[in-house]
Structure 1
Amino acid sequence: MEKFNINRFGQVFMRLLMVRKKTYTTFFLATTILFTLATVLSCNPFRLESFTAGEMSSMLVSGTAFCIGLMIAVQGICASFIVSDLKTKQDKIQELMLPATNLEKFVARLLGSTLFVLLIMFIAFALSDVLQQLLNMLIHKGSRASMLVSLFSDLDMFSNLPQDAKSAVWVYLLGAVSSFSVFALGGMLFRKVAWLKTSIAVFLIIVIGLSLFVGFAYVVYTQTPYVVALPRHWPFWANVLGSLAVSVPCLWLSYRLYCRLQAVNNRWINI
């Protein structure tokens, strides 16, 4: 059982989905309702008159932006829930007794807390798009517009974007991977309210890092004949290396902490 077995991994992953079924269902319903309300309210439901398709699309921009912003926010912190369901001693014992390797169980939990959550939010977004069209047709005398159609039309324009814009999309994806790894580590370290504690820790690290850099730049500027200059545009390879420098250590530490998971928490401080 030392090798990664895809069949065993699939069984572990399906078990995890069954264990978290209630949580996933509640999250899906809440997200669908929230997305639907946001998009319906953005179309001025108190004006009981018809609009053109262009006007409806323009009004849906704010609701769509809210939905996408919420998805980005959840994407940033969802990995912190990697072991959120292991609350009791019995839950941990059942996890430790699973007939699978630690790597298989860890990867299943990482995917269940990141990509599967994003999939749920996308399905909720698609369903809310259908619901908002039905509600807006009732409110605005048959007027409707689709958020998904607008987004897919924007994606069709992606191939015609300049190279800088395409690079920005890849930089965002690399940032998402780094965010997953950082919050996965936070979820393994803090356990309780991990997303908030990890967010505070990341904020403090960034503030301290920027303060040290500003202090270093001030010393160089005042005490030496040199100046500190930062490039306006980082090359793509530098972004890749930066993402790897953050992601690989965080994921490795998260995995090592998962391997040391115990039924009884006997650490000197329970954070």
Structure 2
Amino acid sequence: MIQFNFNRFGKLAKWSLTNDRSYFVRSFLQVLVILTLIFLGFTTQFFTFKINGDTRAYEPCASIAMIILFVDLIIGPSLMFQSMKNKHDRQTLLMLPASNFEKYIMRYSTWIILLPLYVMAFFGADLIQYLVNVLGGNEQVQFVTTVLIDMVSDTSNHLWATQRRFMMTDFFVAMLWLHSVFALGGTFFRSHKYAALLTTVALIVYGLLHVWLFGMGNTSDEIKPSDSTDIIWCVSYGILIIVNFWLSYRLFCRNQVIGKFVNL
């Protein structure tokens, strides 16, 4: 039976935020340093991308930032135990006066807490590259944020103009399914440090087996799925998403300190 109490969950959240504070700060600084080096590498012409004085160097920065966002949205749940340094932390989690459901929600929320920190790191790196380029006297200096907004706007307008709105829905459902798979992988594999890597390997193996058994299918752009087909596809994957999260929670309830490769 699932039990949830807001007062108890608040105490659990306070403990988790205090215990994981160093992990959050370290993750923020890592992303800030990585994005800053990438932005400076492209916009200061360390990597030669500017042609005839245009601002093409900002496009790779925006693309990389978008990729990092998508990666975090997809693999984030598999990092729910990443902040726990040793067996003692896991033992403490098991003994906390909270239900398994409350503990699961708190552990799952780790990636949600990291997301705004990554956004802050992005804006910080963008501001640093802007100041460095202005002080360095580079021409046509701008923010990566502006280029990123333009890219997202152009892509959305193109999909709507070409009547491919279903692609946006399918893309969202596919991302949510992958998200649920990594949530399952985060509690399935005992090696929390490599849960994301092991889940990725499992997905690659699954994809190769699927292609080997069923082939690539017809990927022609001329074919557009009907509304009924698209609805059936979304509902089917919606059921799989619910099943993945349910299995992830059930495996979390079996998560013991005993060393095993998987939680079965």
**Fold match by TM threshold 0.5:** yes
- The answer to whether the Cα contact below 8 Å between 2:3 and 2:102 also exists between their aligned partners in 1 is no
Unaligned runs of 5+ in 1: 218-227
> Which residue of 2 is the match for residue 244 of structure 1?
238
The alpha-carbon deviation at position 44 of structure 1 amounts to 3.5
1:33-70 C-alpha deviation (Å, 9 max, x unpaired): 211221222124469xxx99x933x3211121122223
| Contact kept? 2:61, 2:144, Cα under 8 Å | no
- 1:149 Cα deviation from its structure 2 partner: 2.5
Q: Cα distance 1:209–1:155, how it changes in 2: closer, same or farther (>3 A)?
A: closer
Aligned 1:56-205 pairs, distance under 5 A: 56=55, 58-86=56-84, 88-113=86-111, 115-141=112-138, 143-154=140-151, 158=156, 162=160, 164-192=163-191, 193-205=194-206
Residue type of the alignment partner of 2:32: T
* Residue aligned with 1:162, SS: helix
Matched, 1:233 2:228: no
The Cα RMSD (Å) is 3.2
Q: Output one character per residue of 1:140-171: Cα deviation in whole Å (capped at 9) or x when no partner.
A: 25752012233334556647851745433332
* 1:13–1:109 contact (8 Å) kept in structure 2: no
Q: Residues 67 and 159 (structure 1 numbering): CA distance in 2 closer, same or farther, change over 3 Å?
A: closer
> Would you say the 8 A contact 1:60–1:147 is kept in 2?
yes
Aligned residues of 2:43 and 2:58 also touching (Cα < 8 A): yes
In the alignment, the residues of structure 2 paired with residue 8 and residue 202 of structure 1 have an alpha-carbon distance, to the nearest angstrom, of: 36
Note the residue ranges of structure 2 that are not aligned, 5 or more in a row: none
Deviation digits for residues 15-47 of structure 1 (CA, Å, limit 9, x no counterpart)? 323222212211111111211221222124469
Contact 1:80–1:188 at 8 Å: present in 2 too?
yes
Q: Distance in 2 between matches of 1:129 and 1:229?
A: 41
Aligned-residue identity in percent: 25
Classify 1:147/1:16 alpha carbon distance in 2 versus 1 (closer, same or farther; 3 Å): same
The residue identity in structure 1 corresponding to 2:144 is M
Amino acid in structure 1 at the alignment position of 2:119: F
Bigger CA radius of gyration: 1
Alignment partners' CA distance in 2, 1:32 and 1:230 = 38
**Comparing 150-159 with 193-202, which one deviates more in the overlay?**
150-159
Shift of 1:207: 1.2
Relative to the length of structure 2, the TM-score reads 0.80
Residue 223 of structure 1 aligns with which residue?
A: none
Structure 1 residues 15-30: aligned runs within 5 Å? 15-30=15-30
Q: Higher mean Cα deviation, 155-164 or 21-30?
A: 155-164
Question: What pairs up with 1:34-45 in 2 under 5 angstroms?
Answer: 34-45=34-45
TM-score by length of 1: 0.78
1:270, distance to aligned residue in structure 2 (A): 5.8
